[in-house]
């Protein structure tokens, strides 16, 4: 009899969320040593991390096909069922291999998988043979009860009720799924399709599939658990004990391909998956994806049984000899094809390891090398290389055959150059999700080989290399999955809708980037919010609504800062195209619009200020009005005096007729149109004009103060606003001669050059002072030269001043007055009055 025959065996049976696995972990940690076999590498890794936190890293081992963490003093082992290094409980036959362990406690999780045609024989073997020295636990569905009573008659059976209620919620469209939902599909293509739709509708989803590495799967689940996404799309791997905070499970289908045919899920499978909804004391719901009136549906009987956790008992488990005869190749195949003797066990369908073994057994060279039990054992081990790539028995047998060829010749190790080349070929993070997933699956194959201590000359080195590559590819796959299936901005929007305005943090970076819950949604420049350039068209309106809700406090703060800002913080932006704008702290906040007069433009606030509360907005506009008034008073005070005098009833009509068009033209004008108005002025009128700072020149009337750079710029801006034209180019400060014709009234065009009008007047005065009646004379060229005026430009100016040229010099011929003076600004009442006075009307 086995030395473990009398150790107690307890079967803990019940539906999901009954705490079975938690109980087993607690019981194992209470023993001096222990081991638990799990259905998934992901679940083994999850529990490994928990036990490490309890016992310490040096005391805990993780053993899966492609990953082994095996400290020398390890006493607690977390394994996949296939990798459990257990001692046999059968008399006379001991399991062979260096990892066989004698432990005080053994547990098998999800033992009902023994009824699965693909992997069932592994779980059945562990259920029958795996025993702890002091205690053994079998965890599984209540449907196992009759089989446990028959196959393990000495086991104590304990049933546990579910902690929370599971209820049917009907069919729901994808757009109507509640947050914290898991959608279960049964192929990678369907998983990706659902995740793509959730990205568009809800901002994205985490993706969990059995083919993912633990690192990728954990990163995806962490996103879901942290609330970065509210939805999870998974294969039925979710049903195998992966613990997540899921409130609702939606089935995208109720059928799957089981490797042989497409079939409807069994009631036990439905319940296993639906049971992921609700954890501990939280109730959960399940349903289907689609409309209530069509598509996939549970039958009323299925709903009732899932809600009440009533399932038909299993009547058989699949079996295959767990310790086959290795004396010869034919004996091995015969043992693996042997039928069970117990009625509740059925022969397992041909698994891929047996299919590979039989294909290799048909090769003459394999027969030649398997003449002793040791080499048969090696061939069986090579045939057991998992087909992580899902390439099928024919293709996979070629890889397994090459591995065995190396194991059966030379030093009996896999050649390093071949192994290294294959690893190097996979060492790339380029490509899409499918490409990376394929590389990761291939990497798992090489990791499995590296973790066979007798297959590699330096297994520790290559195990570390494959582990590093798997982590690298896992991180890249997680990034690709997130990039493809998660739109964080949309996810933020969906959480934002209906939430408390203060519940989601808003941050504004120094460069103006606005982030909601650490996700960029746009920029805030001054008071203007601009949606992120890469935002989808469908999201733009939502993003604007989010900004309106979240930025109100910041906008009010900025408005208060604007209202208290000194004049130096404001500028008139004359460089930009479009309406002339007023900028505050470098940001556009308003623009100028025509008013009643040239000196009375209106301040039109930018539309971005409409987001402010009305009192706050009004205060900001009043501050802009005050700034504009201060700027006009600072730079255009002489023009304001001219305009005030033109409206002053105390002034004589001839003087007002002169000043009115002058004020409307910005304080300067060519003399010719105003000559007759000037002629109508008496001495007192001319004296008053001079008191206003006017220079009555030979060619122009102007106030010298208005020829300063800022005065020129402001008058040009006011004219552009008044006339609805673009701002003309401005000369550099201090420039008096332009090398091109100019439209600025401050400059007189003289052929190819333009000269500021006060400098033209200086040349005119010098010319008149230097002449003697109508005699020929030569003007002093030094003044023109100092101003950069060309000979041709000077000649044009002289002709405008009434001089004519002769071979020996210049002669004054006098100016010719025009017969009719036209208004400088037609339609202006004061200008028309000036014309009437000047023309003697």
The pLDDT of residue 591 is above 60: yes
Locate the DSSP E strands across 258-344. 262-264, 284-289, 317-319
Q: What mean pLDDT comes out for the span 79-86?
A: 87
Whether 766 and 779 have beta carbons less than 8 Å apart is answered as: yes
Q: What mean pLDDT comes out for the span 530-542?
A: 73
The pLDDT of residue 482 is above 90: no
The pLDDT of residue 227 is above 90: no
Mean pLDDT, the chain, rounded, equals 86
**What's the pTM value of the predicted model, to 2 decimals?**
0.63
Residue 360 CA to residue 393 CA, distance in Å, equals 11
pLDDT at 260: 75
Q: Which of 282-296, 537-551, 657-671, 713-727 has the lowest mean pLDDT?
A: 537-551
Give, for 555, the enclosing helix (H) or strand (E). Answer: helix 552-563
**Rounded to 5, what percent of the chain is helix, strand, coil?**
45, 15, 40
pLDDT at 91: 34
pLDDT digits (tens, 9 = 90+) for 314-324: 999 999 999 99
Q: What mean pLDDT comes out for the span 558-562?
A: 94
Q: Is 291 exposed, middle or buried (0-12, 13-18, 19+ CB in 10 A)?
A: exposed
pLDDT at 491: 62
Residues constituting the chain: 841
Residue 62 CA to residue 75 CA, distance in Å, equals 11
CATH 3.40.50.300 occupies which residues in the chain? Answer: 1-161, 166-315
Token pair of 521 as six digits? 């949604």
Tell me if residue 512 falls in helix, strand or coil. coil
The pLDDT of residue 755 is above 60: yes
- Lookup result for tokens 């009907």: 170
Q: Which residues contact 456 (CB under 8 A, 6 or more apart)?
A: 413, 414, 419, 449, 450, 462
The candidate with the shortest Cα–Cα distance to 17, out of 265, 287, 283, is 283
| Fold assignment, 1-161 | Rossmann fold (3.40.50)
812: which strand partners? Answer: 803
- Our CA angle for 522, 523, 529, nearest 5°, is 95
- Lookup result for tokens 């007798």: 454
Q: What mean pLDDT comes out for the span 149-159?
A: 94
The pLDDT of residue 277 is above 60: yes
The pLDDT of residue 93 is above 60: no
Q: What mean pLDDT comes out for the span 39-64?
A: 92
pLDDT band with cut points at 50, 70 and 90 for residue 494: low
pLDDT digits (tens, 9 = 90+) for 7-32: 899 999 998 888 899 999 999 999 99
Q: Which pairs with CB-CB distance under 8 Å and at least 24 residues apart come from 682-688?
A: 682/652, 682/654, 684/652, 685/652, 685/654, 685/655, 685/658, 688/645, 688/651, 688/655
Q: What mean pLDDT comes out for the span 610-620?
A: 91
Token pair of 612 as six digits? 């402010």
Domain 166-315's class?
alpha beta
Q: Which residues contact 182 (CB under 8 A, 6 or more apart)?
A: 231, 232, 233, 234, 238, 244, 246, 248, 249, 250, 276, 277
Q: What mean pLDDT comes out for the span 813-836?
A: 48
Token pair of 770 as six digits? 């230097």
- Our CA angle for 581, 587, 592, nearest 5°, is 15
Residue 247 CA to residue 820 CA, distance in Å, equals 92
pLDDT at 177: 92
pLDDT at 490: 64
**Distance (Å) of CA 123 to CA 271, 282, 340:** 20, 31, 15
Token pair of 778 as six digits? 């030569």
Residue 531 CA to residue 707 CA, distance in Å, equals 44
The pLDDT of residue 812 is above 70: yes
Crossing angle, helix 637-647 and helix 653-664, to 10 degrees? 140
Tell me if residue 533 falls in helix, strand or coil. coil
Q: Which of 75-84, 208-217, 365-374 has the lowest mean pLDDT?
A: 208-217
pLDDT at 699: 93
Token pair of 358 as six digits? 């039989």
Residue 142 CA to residue 266 CA, distance in Å, equals 15
Q: What mean pLDDT comes out for the span 162-188?
A: 90
pLDDT at 539: 67
**Residue, of 416 and 200, whose pLDDT is higher:** 416
Q: What mean pLDDT comes out for the span 257-286?
A: 85
- Cβ neighbours, 10 Å, residue 251: 25
Count Cβ neighbours within 10 Å for each residue of 745-764 and write b for 16 or more, e otherwise. bbbbbbeebbbbbbbbbebb
Helices (H), 176-328: 188-202, 214-225, 267-274, 300-308
Whether 731 and 743 have beta carbons less than 8 Å apart is answered as: no
Whether 521 and 261 have beta carbons less than 8 Å apart is answered as: no
Token pair of 731 as six digits? 């000369």
């Amino acid at each position: 009899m086995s030395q473990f025959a009398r150790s107690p065996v307890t079967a803990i049976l019940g539906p999901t969320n009954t705490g079975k696995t938690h109980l087993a972990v607690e019981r194992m940690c209470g023993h001096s040593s222990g081991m638990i076999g799990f259905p998934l590498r992901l679940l083994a890794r999850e529990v490994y991390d928990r036990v490490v936190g309890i016992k310490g890293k040096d005391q805990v081992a993780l053993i899966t096909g492609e990953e082994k963490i095996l400290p020398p003093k390890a006493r607690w082992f977390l394994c996949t069922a296939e990798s459990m290094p257990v001692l046999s409980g059968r008399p006379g036959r001991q399991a062979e291999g260096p990892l066989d362990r004698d432990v005080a406690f053994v547990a098998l999780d999800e033992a009902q998988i023994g009824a699965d045609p693909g992997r069932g024989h592994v779980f059945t073997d562990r259920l029958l043979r795996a025993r702890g020295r002091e205690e053994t636990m079998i965890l599984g569905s209540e449907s196992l009860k009759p089989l446990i009573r028959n196959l393990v008659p000495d086991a104590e059976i304990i049933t546990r009720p579910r902690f929370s209620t599971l209820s049917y919620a009907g069919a729901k469209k994808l757009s109507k799924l509640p947050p914290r939902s898991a959608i279960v599909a049964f192929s990678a293509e369907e998983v990706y399709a659902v995740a793509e739709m959730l990205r568009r509708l809800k901002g994205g989803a985490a993706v969990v599939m059995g083919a993912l590495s633990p690192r990728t799967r954990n990163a995806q689940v962490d996103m879901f658990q942290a609330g970065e996404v509210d939805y999870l799309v998974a294969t039925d791997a979710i049903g195998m004990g992966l613990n997540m905070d899921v409130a609702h499970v939606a089935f995208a289908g109720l059928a799957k391909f089981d490797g042989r045919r497409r079939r409807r899920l069994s009631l036990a499978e439905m319940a296993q998956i639906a049971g992921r909804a609700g954890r501990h004391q939280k109730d959960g719901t399940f349903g289907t994806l689609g409309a209530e009136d069509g598509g996939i549906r549970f039958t009323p009987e299925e709903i009732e049984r899932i809600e009440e956790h009533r399932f038909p008992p299993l009547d058989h488990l699949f079996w295959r000899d767990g310790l086959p005869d290795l004396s010869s190749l034919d004996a091995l195949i015969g043992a693996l094809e042997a039928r069970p003797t117990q009625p509740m066990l059925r022969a397992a369908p041909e698994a891929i390891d047996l299919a590979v073994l039989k294909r290799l057994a048909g090769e003459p060279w394999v027969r030649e090398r398997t003449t002793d039990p040791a080499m048969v054992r090696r061939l069986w081990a090579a045939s057991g290389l998992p087909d992580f790539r899902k390439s099928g028995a024919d293709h996979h047998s070629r890889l397994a055959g090459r591995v065995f060829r190396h194991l059966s010749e030379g030093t009996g190790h896999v050649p390093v150059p071949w192994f290294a080349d294959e690893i190097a070929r996979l060492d790339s993070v380029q490509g899409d999700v499918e490409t990376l997933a394929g590389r990761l699956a291939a990497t798992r194959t090489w990791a499995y080989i590296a973790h066979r201590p007798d297959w590699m000359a330096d297994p520790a080195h290559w195990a570390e290399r494959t582990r590093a590559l798997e982590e690298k590819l896992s991180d890249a796959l997680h990034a690709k999955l997130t990039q493809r299936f998660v739109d964080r901005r949309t996810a933020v929007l969906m959480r934002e809708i209906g939430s408390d305005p203060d519940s989601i943090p808003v941050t504004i970076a120094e460069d103006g980037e606005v982030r909601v819950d650490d996700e960029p949604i746009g920029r805030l420049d001054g008071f203007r919010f601009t949606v992120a350039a890469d935002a989808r068209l469908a999201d733009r309106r939502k993003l604007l609504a989010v900004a309106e809700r979240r930025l109100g406090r910041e906008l009010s703060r900025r408005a208060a800062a604007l209202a208290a800002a000194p004049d130096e913080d404001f500028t008139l932006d004359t460089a930009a195209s479009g309406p002339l704008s007023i900028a505050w702290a470098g940001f556009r906040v308003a623009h100028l619009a025509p008013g009643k007069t040239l000196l009375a433009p209106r301040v039109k606030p930018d539309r971005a200020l409409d987001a402010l509360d009305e009192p706050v907005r009004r205060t900001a506009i009043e501050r802009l009005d005050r700034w504009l008034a201060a700027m006009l008073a600072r730079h255009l005070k002489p023009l304001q005096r001219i305009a005030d005098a033109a409206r002053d009833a105390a002034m004589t009509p001839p003087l007002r007729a002169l000043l009115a068009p002058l004020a409307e033209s910005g304080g300067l004008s060519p003399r010719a149109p105003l000559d007759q108005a000037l002629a109508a002025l008496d001495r007192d009128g001319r004296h008053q004009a001079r008191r206003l700072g006017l220079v009555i020149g030979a060619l122009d009337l102007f106030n010298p103060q208005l020829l300063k750079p800022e005065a020129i710029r402001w008058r040009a801006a006011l004219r552009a606003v008044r006339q609805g034209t673009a701002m003309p180019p401005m000369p550099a400060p201090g420039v008096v001669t332009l090398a091109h014709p100019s439209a600025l009234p401050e400059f007189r065009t003289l052929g190819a050059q333009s000269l500021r009008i006060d400098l033209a007047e200086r040349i005119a005065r010098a010319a008149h002072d230097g002449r003697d009646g109508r005699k020929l004379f030569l003007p002093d060229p030094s003044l023109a030269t100092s101003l950069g005026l060309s000979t041709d430009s000077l000649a044009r100016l002289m002709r405008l001043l009434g001089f004519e040229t002769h071979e020996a010099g210049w002669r004054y011929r006098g100016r010719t007055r025009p017969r009719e003076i036209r208004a400088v600004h037609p339609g202006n009442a004061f200008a028309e009055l000036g014309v009437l006075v000047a023309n003697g009307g």
